[in-house]
Amino acid sequence: MTEPGSPQRALVIGEALIDIVERDGHITGEYVGGSPLNVAVGLARLGRGVDFLTHIGDDPHGRRIADHVKHSGVQLVSGSMNAQRTPTARASLDADGSAQYVFDIEWQLTGTPEVTPPLVAHTGSIAAVLEPGCRAAAALLDTYHPAATVTFDPNVRAVLVDDDDGARGRIDRLVERSDVVKASDEDMRWIDPDRSPEQLAQTWLGLGPSIVAVTMGDRGAFALCAAGAVHVPALQVDVVDTVGAGDAFMSGLIDALWSVGLLGAQRRRDLARISTESLTGAVQTAALSSALTVARAGADLPDRETRDAARQSAILG
């Protein structure tokens, strides 16, 4: 567990938006979304203290987001509601539930949030590459690195990238800053089409992270650490859609490492020495969070009671 006196909260930095979901040309629902927001909500539903720094408007969509995060137990950081309008993402679902997105978003950050130095600081997705806010997000990770474990999920939204090489450079620099990196195999192929996800993950591990985890949809997930590589198969569930699947995996992975006392700068050396057995357990927990999410519509991440019950059911089954 974390040491006495250590900060017990996570800080998540990144976009929040409204997902407008379409299937066969018809709007089927509007959901609060955004990859970092989903990670924040996922952690809060698992009982973790979370501060969330974002950029939304004081408009109906923005107030809906604010109500959603508050109801989920997330603290919205002061200054997060000063955008001219709240971002939206139109998600078109294909036959297998996979989503393609069209975004209307502006991403800016100013100043340092008035929060307690966190145990873990997370960012990713649009917040990591979209100007001008991406520079401020990276600077904040540098600010919190002396106190916090830094986690990162590139969660690439290529439709928003004007400069592919510039975005890849920003991703590489964030990988170097991070202790834990999670990506999908699709992300990896966009970031480096000339190497396999396994090869790129190995390169990333050499840049500084203690853990690099890669999700592969119905083929499960693998993760690398200094002690070696692990692979966890996908759980068999009836997929409703894949919205929020990667974010559920990310929040589940952070929570699992939190539960075994491997977060915070004071535990950085211990995290770097994680065993393959401990890493397997963490990835299994993350995969379970993801499986429960794809079985429900939208980014509806599980709470701890739901996840524990599903784990117990799997064990007994």
Please state whether the peptide bond connecting residue 132 to the residue before it is cis, i.e. omega within 30 degrees of 0. Answer: yes
Q: What is d(CA 199, CA 107) in angstroms, rounded to the nearest whole number?
A: 32
Query: pTM of the entire structure?
Result: 0.92
CA proximity to 17, closest of 51, 53, 78, 62: 62
What percentage of residues in the chain have a pLDDT greater than 90?
74
Cβ proximity of 169 and 138 under 8 Å: no
Q: Which two tokens stand for residue 250?
A: 């990310």
Pick the CATH number of 9-316 from 3.40.1190.20, 3.40.50.1970, 1.20.200.10, 3.20.20.70: 3.40.1190.20
Between helix 304-316 and helix 276-294 the angle, nearest 10°, is 110
Residue ranges in the chain modelled with pLDDT below 50: 1-6, 316-317
Beta-ladder partners of 152 = 123, 181
pLDDT (tens digit, 9 = 90+) per residue, 233-279? 999 888 887 778 999 999 999 999 999 999 999 999 999 999 999 99
Reading the block at residue 313, the tokens are 């059911």
Phi, psi of 215 (to 5 degrees): -90, 145
Cα distance between residue 18 and residue 248, in whole Å: 18
| Closest CA relative to residue 37, chosen from 244, 292, 293 | 244
Dihedrals phi, psi of 101, to nearest 5 degrees: -115, 145
